[in-house]
Amino acid sequence: MKKSSIPFYSFLIGVLALTLAACKKDFLDRKPDDKLTEEQVFTDYEKVNKMVTDLYSDLHSRSRGLAFLQHFSLSAITDECRGSTVENGHSRTFNTGGWNPSSIPGSGYKWSDIYSSIRVANLILTGVRKYKTPDNPLNKGDLNIRLGETFFMRAYYHYLAARLYGEIPYLDYLVDPNGDMNIKQSSFHTIAAKISNDCDSAIDRLPVNQSDAQFARAEKGAAMALKVIVKWMAATPLYNGGTLPNDTRIGKNEYTARDNKRWEAVRDAAKAVLDLKSEGGQPRYSLYTTYGPTSFVQNSNNKVYTRLYQMFYDPSAFKTEAIFMNINDKFEAWQGDNYPPSEGGGSRQQPIQEQVDEYEYIAPDGYGYPIYTPRAVADGYDDANPYEGIRRDPRFYRDVIYHGSTFRNAVRNTATGADKIGATNSTTTGYFLRKFYREDYRPGNGVTFQIHYPLIRLPEIMLIYAEALNETGGSPDEIVSMLNTIRDRSFMAPVPPSIKGDKAKTNEYIQRERRVEFFYENKRWFTSRLYLEPSSTTELAKEQAWMGAGGDNDTRSQRYWPYPRCQRMVNGMRPVESPTGKIVIAGKNYMMQRFYVATWVFVSPTHYFFPISQDELGKDPTLQQNPGW
């Protein structure tokens, strides 16, 4: 395989065209002069700085936030949300099995897109070394920081590819596109090690705190956190002791035997992030805790805490809790796409019952429990009055609009009117999305704003640390404290003391906390696969039990839940008029009733990974297609 550069301007023009198309509103979208020679660019600090900046611009399509699948979040292809059929219904194409190596919906996040950004990173690192790029004459040391950012971005883009495709080639050099293209994939553990190495190179060069002028560029903590995440991925069952049906991966022999040292490595790496200090000695990262328990979003009937809403808009939250982020991920029009029809919206993505069931209730004893445990009914949970008949996790009221909820000072009704289940552009599940909404906006009212999207938040590292402690025999007190710190920030009740020291129960709370805390943040698609949920014996047994619970799907939906996590069904909740109903809207009494919405396609092992496109397989004959494709 040849390792060489190509004419700089011809390569850069193509890459910049992709980036320009992907990011029209991004203030970071600055491009170097594509008519300069390679030497002219790399002997000028400012031009190199602009190339590094372009790597951040690429995040808007490579690591999409609210519209990962080009108009749809990854939530819409998991048991979090259901997507509508607008904009070609990309999520429905995934969910109905309509994707294949020759037809993969969406753009920007795919194999070729990610590797084009990796090539830019390699071009920068090669060019700076070859031409001995001078430092910033106005601020010495900046070049070293830019190199640290480039090492981080190369690691991050490989991480993005590995999340979707599993085993990939790790390119830490320039590849001649006209030369030998026989570039082989590596096992995931090899990839994780190389990502960690690049992160170490970044950590050596990056500051703990970037200056305000460099806000949202990678810092030391971002590189440390990325190490944590890839080590955690390598320790989960998909790569550490689990069994993938009909596994054809090249590194499958590395994945079958569990090695607890991988969890020890996760624990130590996560602890280092949590212990990281700023120059002044204070913790670099902390949870956002502005606004107290008496402050609520206006016109929400005192259901949505201001803190939970502001944590995605207050700049101080991004400075202390967001470890890495996508600046200006979407602007205000995104909200209009997802608003209820009564507010002029299109209900593009709708939460589903599988997700709603994961929000715990607060029991009379002051602790949080899942609504599907035997004690829930005894404590007052009523599935016919599940939202305000009992106290639920406050994040539920922040995340979901439900029948009877107050949104923009109006009680929402999914039984009649524009928001009725099944009405034009309305919900099909009984729910509307609320998370990330600024409620001062309505389509056409002139309010404008940008939505920053956190790619890595502090709670992600905290939960990984708690899980690693649980897997390595760590302190039960420390695990429970970590969980309760996250919950307390959201005004949620603590976990019950009875789980302390019970590894299985503790793990259940950790996984549920992860699912609730990171709802609609593009995490669920990956975690469900990392833990091999869709093909686990436990979930398959639950699926069989669900099938035997009645003669039709609606009956099964009502009789058997929590639903199996096999990614093959969608359930919802509808209002039914009843004289004994306890939900009163516009003078009518309603009770809630579960119903079956749709069947999805999930085949093991096929749908554990995205398929490598046929075009890429044609370019590199040594690439091996992912299992099942």
DSSP string across 236-252? STTTTT---TT---TTH
The answer on pLDDT for 11 being more than 70 is no
The answer on pLDDT for 366 being more than 50 is yes
The answer on pLDDT for 459 being more than 70 is yes
Q: Which residue has the higher pLDDT, 17 or 443?
A: 443
Residues contacting 519, CB < 8 A, separation 6+: 75, 80, 351, 355, 395, 399, 435
Regarding the domain delimited by 110-285, which CATH topology (the fold level of the hierarchy) does it fall under?
Answer: 1.25.40
Query: What value does the mean pLDDT take over residues 498-502?
Result: 97
In this prediction, residue 64 carries a pLDDT of 87
Going by pLDDT thresholds of 50, 70 and 90, the confidence category of residue 516 is: very high
Going by pLDDT thresholds of 50, 70 and 90, the confidence category of residue 393 is: very high
Going by pLDDT thresholds of 50, 70 and 90, the confidence category of residue 179 is: confident
Going by pLDDT thresholds of 50, 70 and 90, the confidence category of residue 336 is: confident
Least confident of 170-179, 419-428, 535-544: 170-179
The answer on pLDDT for 5 being more than 70 is no
Query: What value does the mean pLDDT take over residues 24-38?
Result: 51
In this prediction, residue 106 carries a pLDDT of 81
Question: What is the helix (H) or strand (E) element at residue 511, kind and residue range?
Answer: helix 503-517
Going by pLDDT thresholds of 50, 70 and 90, the confidence category of residue 181 is: confident
DSSP symbol at 100: B
Rounded CA-CA distance 453/411 in Å is 29
CATH class entry, domain 67-108+287-629: mainly alpha
Q: Name the one residue in this structure whose structure tokens are 């999930």.
A: 602
Asked if the domains at 67-108+287-629 and 110-285 fall in one CATH topology, the answer is yes
The answer on pLDDT for 290 being more than 90 is yes
Percent with pLDDT over 70 in the chain? 95
Going by pLDDT thresholds of 50, 70 and 90, the confidence category of residue 377 is: very high
Query: What value does the mean pLDDT take over residues 543-547?
Result: 98
The answer on pLDDT for 21 being more than 50 is no
The answer on pLDDT for 319 being more than 90 is yes
For the chain, how are helix, strand and coil distributed in percent, rounded to 5? 40, 10, 45
In this prediction, residue 351 carries a pLDDT of 98
The answer on pLDDT for 520 being more than 90 is yes
Going by pLDDT thresholds of 50, 70 and 90, the confidence category of residue 34 is: low
Rounded CA-CA distance 363/378 in Å is 10
Tokens of 251: 């590194």
The answer on pLDDT for 610 being more than 80 is yes
Least confident of 90-99, 291-300, 596-605: 90-99
Query: What value does the mean pLDDT take over residues 174-185?
Result: 85
Rounded CA-CA distance 417/177 in Å is 58
Residue 246, Cβ neighbours under 10 Å: how many? 10
Query: What value does the mean pLDDT take over residues 373-378?
Result: 95
In this prediction, residue 13 carries a pLDDT of 34
Residues contacting 21, CB < 8 A, separation 6+: none
Mean pLDDT of the residues in the chain: 93
The domain limits of the chain are 67-108+287-629, 110-285
Cα dihedral sign for 209, 215, 217, 222?
positive
In this prediction, residue 278 carries a pLDDT of 96
For 501-530, letters b (16+ CB in 10 Å) and e give eeeeebbebbbbbbbbbbbbbbbbbbbbbb
In this prediction, residue 27 carries a pLDDT of 26
Query: What value does the mean pLDDT take over residues 77-105?
Result: 92
Least confident of 52-56, 178-182, 270-274: 178-182
| Amino acid at site 135 | D
Tokens of 231: 């080590």
The answer on pLDDT for 514 being more than 80 is yes
Predicted TM-score (pTM) of the model is: 0.94
Query: What value does the mean pLDDT take over residues 379-388?
Result: 98
Percent with pLDDT over 90 in the chain? 87
In this prediction, residue 388 carries a pLDDT of 96
